[in-house]
Structure 1
Amino acid sequence: MERAPGVVEKVAALLRALSTAESGTTTTALAAATGQPRATTHRLLESLAAEGLADRDPSTGRWFLGPETYVLGVAAAARYDLTNEARASVHRLARETGESAFFSVRRGDEVVVLLREDGDFPIRSYVLYESARFPLAVVSGGLAILAHLTERDVDAYFARADLVADWGPAHAEPLVRERLAATRRTGWSLNPGHVVEGSWGMAAAVFDASGRPEWALTLTGVEQRFRPDRQPLLGRLLLEEAHRLSRLA
């Protein structure tokens, strides 16, 4: 029997939902996004607002992350954040390939985009954007991270995840496991348009000091820019930058 989510889980779900709402969001939308009753959602939001963790625009009634989340983020950055170091890697990848480059971080069973820089190729993919969240097994950055977790962690992830219901048959466990195996062979992951048709992505994992994959560097673009003869070059550039960042972690 599954355990009902406690207050901490409910609050965490609300904060994650707020983090993806750049233009703010409503109580009703947050309730739907987190699977909680509207009355419960409203009560928790009011409590978060009292602590500075959520903020409500008085003119629109829309909710945002509160100022205290910024303070907490700054305090945690010294231990967990490679963002400043990653900016140079993202810039080089965008400049050298012409594609859109990204830096993402693992948060539980999800990957969250922290940085984006577009290259000079005029046609771009907009599947990824700063603050976007995806399950680990869906986008190429998440695949790169998941592929380098322990087998026990991977098995536990699939036991929790219901990817087909939300993302379609291309995300059935046997197919994802094939992509994970390919990632381990090459070192970089490939997403051939499984999120949005024609939008491809490649990524490489970045490891912390203990050897855990906690971040990823990603390149995305249109299908013709990721043809098989170009993939080794893109993969090499991703791995070079990923290794550089891993040494700094």
Structure 2
Amino acid sequence: MASDTPGPEASPATPVRQQKVQAAEVGTGILKGLAQLAPSTSLSRLAEHVGMPAAKVHRYLQALIASGFAEQDPATNHYGLGREALLVGLAALGRLDVLKIASPHLQGLRDELNETCFLAVWGNKGPTVVHVEQSIGAVTLVTRVGSVLPLLGSSTGMVFNSYLPGAETAALLHEESAGQGAAFLKDIEQRVAHIRGTGLNQVHGLLMPGVNAVSAPLFATGHVLAGVITVVGAASVFTPRNQATAAERLQQAAQAITERMGGARPLDV
């Protein structure tokens, strides 16, 4: 009688440990399939997605349901991730702290570019600096942890304004644009479109005269903006040529951080 236990077909020559490893690999593949087809999927669609016979996928699903890693909707018979899988996912997401992940990249950028690099996140008062790697050159710009930057008057703030939902920025946007004319608002719209199209923002003397900056967004799962990293320097040394190099390296770092956090820059905005 054939066994209903999930796993590859047993044979006398197949070591038990190898069978268990192969079974774990298959089970992991089915869990990934459930995640990729979330929130729910039919058995036939899941089997086609993972490239396995439906009967084999069904056996694994029964084991995953029994362990709480999958569940079946009795109304539709569709399958989805179970509570245990969600708990594992939440634990993994909790480890993907943007500060922890971004810090080594900022250190590397500072060492390579010899310019001040920092990370900002969205706080209750707006873009807030949470980590700084100060340059060690003759010209040093002091950017302090805890500093709150303008939404429209800083390179970092403009990136937040470009990617955050309007409901989150509305109050600050209204405050900073009050009394400004149509030309100002049109310029903001054009800059937002440029940032969304390129994934970068470069400014010259926007926040302070003689200070140039370039910023890039960081995304977590679901295209959620997790933070913004910025390189800033005095115009006397952070020249357009140096800034172009910094922009390229900054974007590479932002992409690496975003990938590590399971995110992606939205391209349909």
Task: Name the TM-score class by shorter chain.
Answer: 0.5 to 0.7
Contact (CA 8 Å) 2:159, 2:217: kept in 1 or not? yes
SS of the residue aligned with 1:239?
Answer: helix
Counterpart for residue 111 of structure 1: 127
Q: 1:177 to 1:239 in 2, by over 3 A?
A: same
Structure 2 portions without partners, runs of 5+: 1-92, 262-269
Computing the radius of gyration from Cα coordinates, the structure with the larger value is 2
**1:1-249 equivalent positions in 2, closer than 5 A:** 78=94, 81-107=97-123, 110-126=126-142, 128-149=143-164, 153=166, 157=170, 160-164=173-177, 172-249=184-261
Partner amino acid for 2:128? V
Counterpart for residue 37 of structure 1: none
Q: 1:227 to 1:182 in 2, by over 3 A?
A: farther
In 2: Cα distance, 1:123 partner to 1:97 partner = 13
In 2: Cα distance, 1:155 partner to 1:81 partner = 21
Root-mean-square deviation (CA), in Å? 3.0
In 2: Cα distance, 1:155 partner to 1:246 partner = 21
Q: How many residues were matched structurally? A: 168
In 2: Cα distance, 1:130 partner to 1:232 partner = 26
Partner amino acid for 2:247? G
TM superposition shift of 1:227: 2.9
| Percent of aligned positions that are identical | 19
In 1: Cα distance, 2:197 partner to 2:244 partner = 12
Structure 1 portions without partners, runs of 5+: 1-76
TM superposition shift of 1:149: 3.9
Contact (CA 8 Å) 1:199, 1:222: kept in 2 or not? yes
Q: What's the TM-score once normalised by structure 2's chain length?
A: 0.54
In 2: Cα distance, 1:216 partner to 1:144 partner = 7
Q: What's the TM-score once normalised by structure 1's chain length?
A: 0.58
Contact (CA 8 Å) 2:116, 2:231: kept in 1 or not? yes
